Chains A and B, each alone.
Chain A
């Protein structure tokens, strides 16, 4: 049955309310089971041996002594994994990152793994694995990696996206260009031009739950995996592809997930755990330490960005240009391309050009982090926009409003926009009391806009009406922040029953069809669409059952307020049948009542936000504190407003941490110096003020209730908002993120000196 996803303006009863989340009690009583909270009989403990070198050829690995340690049941190296050297390059890279085959590409890269009866035996065995390395020159800095004499991370990478194709290998893996118009002509028409280089350091998603899984491979080829992941169906496919397993025989169950933010969209240790289990013939539990999480799982790119923007004195941008270099770790991806696409997406520009350069470095493989690549680009562009507004003596919000993209604008990355929300968030910011509140001594105010693509994707749900009329909703998108509550609201709305009568669960891969991951802000957007569709299918069944019960044609039965109604006077005004009544009779009217749905939830639509922030700086120490923060973002329709606010606040907090203190610090030796929460400084409770939110609801035309993804955009503006606020507070433009106290104090000292 085809599903009409078009927005219908209607009065909603359940959607938009704030009921208690169904998994709340489990989570406040310590009963919710996360990745490390599951055990299997006879399970072994796995540990991974990691490279202490940033770049080294693995000459040999001798595991004999380690295998002799009492209690050791299996040891694997890349030699025990399928050799995908001549296969798909992307698949090869994923496996090579899980276990280095020829070279250790970064400090912390896995080179061997042990499964043993306990932690002590595993730890002892790790010490007895002898790896002979040939240490190679390394490069960890994005700009240094571009220099002609930089050590090559890979000698078989030739820059793609340039003509003619280069003949010399390079750390520049790809060049991608976007834009339109003639920027040089545009700059010629400008009265004022701002040109500046920016840098951002590498940050980590910083989820509190380390990666954890329990793998169990049986001798008959069947296997189970319990894992914390943002997408168990994707993990199943990845692990099957990497290890040569049959998809149907690998059953993956997603645990409760202790944060992901993109970092759990990607397999890291799960294939290793499965391979160990296969070799040992026993279940294997693998839990990363915090240090391993930092050294060897998904940080985002460090970047180096040049921006040039020109405008006329009356505030019209005439040309905009950016070159964006994104470090991707040792494996090329498209992080720079994403940065290049998002950089100027908020604006209506006649002449724009962006170039993204994907740079290989000896750092962990970069993976998605909440609106991946957009925050750094927004930092650079929104800083330059602010500076330009100052230069032409125009209010920063007015300047943005004057140049904001709107319906019909040709976006900087190509397509022409439909109805979009940047203008409304800017106008809301202008009218917000925060914008006109007085500032104290040493305080500065900054604001910035952010853009992100939202995604939809493949989605499948089952909705079962139980004998007592309650409903079980089985979904396949992992609940990272309250989506079971939101989806229950959606089912309640569509069926016309109470929220309390819906129980949403996350189904495992053996019991539901394929679902894409909870990423790209798609969880609630896409699964709500599938839930609406499943509910409508269940209603169709219930109408048929009512028709049977009443012995009237199904066309004469309509659904309203949770009841089947017989239409018109000719049916003697029969009393409507409730879901409960229909469910009770289901056994005699055709069997269980259910609605199923599989669909592609496309058309998520792009998302915009505007943030305002006040910062107080101690000019003597460079210390800074966020004293007020406001998030304004379009949600389309907020299904459960508390959790929408939560997404806004959480993204802002992550962005604030990124802007002020978080960074990967590498030594000259190419080793990570701060792989822990002590020196990788995420915001603590006392660092932040309350974070005010304003939810705008501009219906998404491609969703029946107008819902838009909300998860990611909130991390895009903070870097720039903070940079602008600090710069306004101290009178010096801060162009290097994080804007840590030493950087602020150094900038102030430099300014004072001259």
Chain B
């Protein structure tokens, strides 16, 4: 197998890498680019721990080939905060104790960010169904949903 040269944009930076044809974007992020915030919980798109945003859509990076990143715009958890200033979702997850072990947290944050970009004022039901592809085994989801609701309200300027 020979490697493929890929040029892409990750978290606003131009990035070039070589990858194998069968290598997933998740493996590229973690093993070649040192972006380990995306986690592999299943490798089959069932847990959402590897969520990344590709061209504006949240996807499981374990179900994207590294080679497919060519020419795309990719966002990962490492690019969510603005320098040392956390994104409101990140802050609210900490404030609401919406994480216990935290392994699912990067994936939830990426998915929630994508939600609030298309729906700034989601209902509880909308949040729950949008996040159904992100498994959490620790929290029972209660505090996660509340954190997303609270972050959405803050981002709408309602409880600033």
Contacts and interface: CB of A to CB of B under 8 A. Distances in A.
Nearest to A481: B100
Contact of B143 (A208, A256, A287, A646): A646
Contacts of A208: 39, 41, 47, 49, 101, 103-104, 135-137
A241 B140 CA distance: 38
B109 interface: yes
A660 to B, nearest CB: 14
B38 interface: yes
A207 B104 CA distance: 10
A480 B101 contact: yes
Given A30-B78, A209-B39, A690-B142, A682 B97 contact: no
Interface residues of A, number: 57
Contacts of A649: 139-140, 142-143
Contacts of A206: 137
B93 A28 contact: yes
Contacts of A258: 39, 41, 101-104
Contacts of B30: 36-37
B4 interface: no
B143 to A, nearest CB: 7
B15 interface: no
Given A209-B101, A646-B100, A677-B46, A28 B40 contact: no
A25 B49 contact: no
A33 B102 CA distance: 10
A333 B157 CA distance: 57
A290 B39 CA distance: 12
A21 B94 contact: yes
A569 interface: no
Contacts of A28: 77, 80, 86, 90-91, 93-94, 99, 102, 105-106, 109
A480 B139 CA distance: 12
Interface residues of B, number: 59
Contact of B145 (A480, A682, A690): A690
Nearest to B102: A27
B131 interface: yes
B103 A259 contact: yes
Interface string B76-115: 1110110000100011011111011111111001000000
B145 to A, nearest CB: 7
Interface in A186-213: 205-210
A684 interface: yes
B119 interface: no
Contacts of B132: 684-687
B120 to A, nearest CB: 19
B86 A25 contact: yes
Given A37-B36, A650-B137, A685-B132, A676 B42 contact: yes
A688 B129 CA distance: 11
B119 to A, nearest CB: 15
A287 B43 CA distance: 12
Nearest to B38: A30
A581 B126 CA distance: 54
B140 A691 contact: yes
Interface string A456-485: 000000000000000000000000111000
A210 B142 CA distance: 24
B63 to A, nearest CB: 13
A688 B140 contact: yes
Contacts of A82: none
Contacts of A654: 137
Contacts of A287: 40
B28 interface: no
Given A649-B139, A650-B137, A482 B97 contact: yes
Interface in A1-43: 18, 20-21, 23-25, 27-34, 36-37
Contact of B41 (A25, A290, A645, A690): A290
A290 B42 contact: yes
A640 B143 CA distance: 15
> Which residue of A30, A287, A682, A690 has the most chain B CB atoms within 10 A of its CB atom?
A30
Contact of A677 (B1, B47, B102, B106): B47
Contacts of A640: 97
A379 interface: no
A313 B35 CA distance: 66
Contacts of B143: 642, 645-646, 649
Contacts of B139: 646, 649-650, 653
B102 A684 contact: no
A289 interface: yes
Contacts of B35: 30
A20 B103 contact: no
B8 interface: no
A685 B36 contact: no
A370 B144 CA distance: 22
Contacts of B47: 208, 290, 677
A206 B30 CA distance: 23
B66 interface: no
A677 B42 contact: yes
A482 B44 contact: no
A527 to B, nearest CB: 17
A33 B41 contact: no
Contacts of B46: 290, 676-678
A208 B40 CA distance: 9
A646 B103 contact: no
Contacts of A210: 40-41
A685 B100 contact: no
Interface string A639-680: 010110110011011100000000000000000000011100
A257 interface: yes
A690 B103 CA distance: 21
Contacts of A691: 140, 142
B30 to A, nearest CB: 8
B18 interface: no
Contacts of B135: 208, 677, 682, 684
> Which residue of A37, A208, A645, A683 has the most chain B CB atoms within 10 A of its CB atom?
A208
A29 B39 contact: no
B102 A650 contact: no
A268 interface: no
B102 A23 contact: yes
Given A677-B47, A677-B135, A684-B132, A27 B99 contact: yes
A511 to B, nearest CB: 23
A570 interface: no
A127 interface: no
B36 A33 contact: yes
A31 B30 CA distance: 12
A514 interface: no
A30 B77 contact: yes
A135 B12 CA distance: 56
Interface of A: 18, 20-21, 23-25, 27-34, 36-37, 120, 205-210, 256-261, 287, 289-290, 480-482, 640, 642-643, 645-646, 649-650, 652-654, 676-678, 682-688, 690-691
28 contacts: A18-B97, A21-B94, A25-B86, A28-B91, A29-B37, A30-B38, A30-B106, A31-B37, A207-B103, A208-B41, A209-B39, A209-B41, A209-B103, A258-B104, A259-B101, A259-B137, A259-B138, A290-B42, A290-B43, A480-B100, A646-B97, A649-B139, A649-B142, A653-B139, A682-B137, A683-B141, A685-B129, A685-B145
Interface of B: 1, 20, 30, 35-44, 46-47, 49, 76-78, 80-81, 86, 90-91, 93-97, 99-106, 109, 124-125, 127-129, 131-146
By Cβ-Cβ distance, the 3 closest A-B pairs, closest first, are A30-B37, A258-B103, A653-B140
Given A208-B135, A685-B145, 13 more contacts: A28-B91, A208-B103, A259-B137, A290-B41, A290-B43, A643-B97, A653-B140, A677-B41, A678-B44, A685-B141, A686-B132, A688-B142, A690-B142
